């Protein structure tokens, strides 16, 4: 996989001053680097990655059980938008790593790319965010795509999808609305009772040895312990 374009994280500065401060403190070498210079470095790295991949596959083109393929699914050019603003919900609390939502999107997109021809693998874009299904291997070519099998295999026409939840099921939709505050109130009461009980533990619950250890050590005890 090509390295993620880390500098696009700076787009979060438009909506989060905290992200801007965090980036400048934790990784100034990248976020204070000129955008064109960073892009040049990344393009050189990506080109070297392609050369290594092609060189390996050329030396092992007769192999039928192993190949190297670049997976560009997360080679984003920008942070996907939400209400025409960078969606910082895709970033973790440190504004740098991926959030659980972004990890979910990345997993589904990388998985989908395994079944796409090498020459036409897709990159995560605006429409990919919120993609809630895993792609099944296409019927035309139900195997992982490589340089050796992408040419003789037609592009998948209709990708099948594996839903996370059955279409007929619903989560919480059939619950009467008056039960929601009732469950919330019940949970709050149970938490308060638990906290109250934890602070009302009597002294006899502790063993004599534990009570002894909690008391200040006297000089006589100290002498006994030393000698």
pLDDT tens, the chain, 227 aa long: 998 888 898 999 999 999 998 888 888 887 888 889 989 999 999 999 999 999 998 888 888 888 899 999 999 988 888 888 998 889 998 888 999 988 988 998 999 899 888 888 888 877 776 666 788 888 778 888 888 877 666 655 656 665 544 443 333 334 454 555 565 577 677 777 766 766 655 555 544 444 444 444 444 444 444 44
* Cα–Cα dist 227/106, whole Å: 64
Helices vs strands, H then E, count in the chain: 8, 4
| pLDDT value of position 61 | 81
* Cα–Cα dist 11/83, whole Å: 14
* Cα–Cα dist 21/6, whole Å: 15
| pLDDT value of position 209 | 44
* Cα–Cα dist 50/61, whole Å: 16
| pLDDT value of position 52 | 94
* Cα–Cα dist 46/44, whole Å: 5
Nearest Cα neighbor of 68 from 185, 138, 12, 148 is: 148
**CB 98 within 8 Å of CB 91:** yes
| pLDDT value of position 160 | 61
Q: Is pTM, for the whole model, over 0.75?
A: no
Q: Tokens 């929601």 label which residue?
A: 180
| pLDDT value of position 131 | 62
């Amino acid at each position: 996989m090509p390295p993620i374009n880390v500098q696009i994280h700076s787009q979060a500065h438009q909506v989060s001053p905290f992200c801007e401060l965090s980036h400048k403190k934790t990784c100034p070498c990248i976020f204070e680097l000129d955008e064109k210079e960073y892009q040049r470095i990344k393009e050189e790295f990506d080109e070297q990655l392609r050369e290594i991949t092609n060189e390996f596959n050329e030396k092992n083109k007769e192999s039928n059980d192993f190949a190297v393929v670049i997976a560009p699914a997360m080679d984003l050019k920008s942070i996907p938008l939400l209400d025409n603003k960078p969606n910082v919900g895709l970033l973790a609390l440190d504004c740098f790593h991926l959030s659980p939502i972004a990890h979910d999107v990345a997993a589904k997109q990388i998985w989908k790319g395994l079944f796409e021809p090498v020459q036409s693998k897709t990159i995560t874009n605006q429409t990919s965010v919120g993609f809630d299904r895993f792609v099944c291997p296409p019927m035309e070519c139900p195997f992982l795509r490589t340089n050796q099998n992408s040419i003789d295999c037609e592009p998948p026409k209709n990708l099948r999808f594996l839903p996370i939840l059955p279409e007929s099921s619903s989560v919480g939709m059939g619950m009467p609305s008056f039960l929601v505050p009732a469950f919330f109130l019940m949970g709050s009461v149970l938490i308060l009772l638990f906290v109250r009980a934890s602070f009302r533990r009597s002294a006899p619950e502790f063993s004599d040895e534990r009570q002894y250890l909690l008391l200040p050590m006297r000089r006589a005890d100290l002498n006994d312990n030393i000698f």
